[in-house]
Amino acid sequence: MRTLRRLRWLLADLTRVVRALARVRAEARRPDPPRVALARLEGGPWAERGRPNAYRVRVVNEHAAPRPVVLRLAGDADGAPPLETRGAHVIPAAAALDLVLLTDWRARFDLVAEAPSDDALAFLAPREATGRCRLSAVLEAEREAPAALTIAQPLVR
């Protein structure tokens, strides 16, 4: 009698497990298709007008083949004309491409291979903001929706 009761409980538990597995399978998400995306757009805690400011941009390709992309960077700062640059790049298969935008928020707005070295403790010096600046990155790849990232910073000097 005790064995039959335990067997009935075991069958009830197995039935619940099978139903739960069926529900999990029905509601499981399909994996996202591979894409090309902007993974990072970063700069310092503030921007200084007239001095080199470096911004790091990372583009990631999840595809199994290299993908051509167009990266457009646009910046605007209080009291300065809008700045813009664009570049065509080929991102290797299943890899990331790191780029650096160098700007003085006056006229220079260039993509370079590496950021110049800077004072690692400069962020400790008190600064008073005199305006704002904004940098936008737009990535365009064939057969994909454009991806965009924007950062805004206080502008000193």
Cα 46 to Cα 57: distance, rounded to the nearest angstrom: 17
Residue 78 has a pLDDT of 87
Residue 157 has a pLDDT of 75
Residue 113 has a pLDDT of 79
Q: What is the mean pLDDT of the chain?
A: 90
Eight-state DSSP code of residue 25: H
Residue 125 has a pLDDT of 66
Three-state DSSP class for 116?
A: coil
Residue 120 has a pLDDT of 62
Q: What is the mean pLDDT of residues 22-28?
A: 86
Cα 62 to Cα 37: distance, rounded to the nearest angstrom: 8
